[in-house]
Amino acid sequence: MKIRVSAGNRVLPTWFLIIISVLSAAGQDKSADDFRQFLFPTFSKSLIKTKAGKEVNIILNYNMVSEKMVFEQKEKYYDLVNPELVDTAYIQNRKFIPHGKEFIEVLATGKSPFYAQHKADLIAPERPGAYGTTSALTSSNVLSGYQTDIGYFNFKLPEGYTVKKNPFYWIRNGEEWIKINSEKQVPKAFPGKEEKIRKFIKGNGIRADKTEDMKKLGIFCNNLPD
């Protein structure tokens, strides 16, 4: 399939549109690097495999606030457009697949695969309140970037803002996707195996706010005998 784009009336293959952005105004200068809203501390050489069977070498990171895959090109940062054309993205030996408009990380495979949806909120600096109290404003959509018609503009966070990670998880049983917010919800997804899973969670101190813990739990659950 070919798609015609307005720039120069050139015809480009669909897969190539995954890694381009039409307007340079959607980029961020590299001098403004600030990676607190990103999953990884740095952008790194990565690999994208498309559903059309193409492989694209690209420099990637994942914005947890906007929940967008972001790539570096010519010292600017852009959202990955057309995620529905992506089969798999590999970043630092970790595997991501599209899920709706976001990407989720594959934690464990098997009959009931486990996935992590990396999400974060921005916490504003505390402000003086009434009677000597303080308050903080929380936003999950502003200050990390600016939404335009062609994508999300990733820019440096204002000083004093912090990023609070709030990941959640998915377990896929056939065609059913089960959303998991707590490790205590996992046993219910495995009828007949609840007690073994609860013992594993307790014995290993599994916590849902730690992706590595949930990866261990996912591997354990998928290795339980039927």
Report if residue 190 sits inside a domain. no
Report if residue 211 sits inside a domain. no
Residue 92 belongs to domain spanning: 2-123+148-181
**Model pLDDT, residue 155:** 56
Report if residue 155 sits inside a domain. yes
**Model pLDDT, residue 127:** 63
Query: At 94, which amino acid appears?
Result: R
Taking 70 as the pLDDT cut, the residues of the chain under it are 1-34, 127-158
Cβ atoms 68, 28 nearer than 8 A:
no
Look at the chain and report how many structural domains it folds into: 1
Report if residue 118 sits inside a domain. yes
Report if residue 39 sits inside a domain. yes
Report if residue 142 sits inside a domain. no
**Model pLDDT, residue 116:** 98
DSSP3 helix / strand / coil % (the chain, rounded to 5): 25, 40, 40
The whole-model pTM stands at: 0.77
Bridge-based pairing of strands 102-108 and 114-117 is antiparallel
Report if residue 133 sits inside a domain. no
Structure tokens at 41: 């501390």
Report if residue 114 sits inside a domain. yes
**What is the per-residue pLDDT across 125-178, written as a single tens digit (0 to 9) for each?**
776 554 444 434 433 333 344 444 434 445 566 677 788 899 999 999 999 999
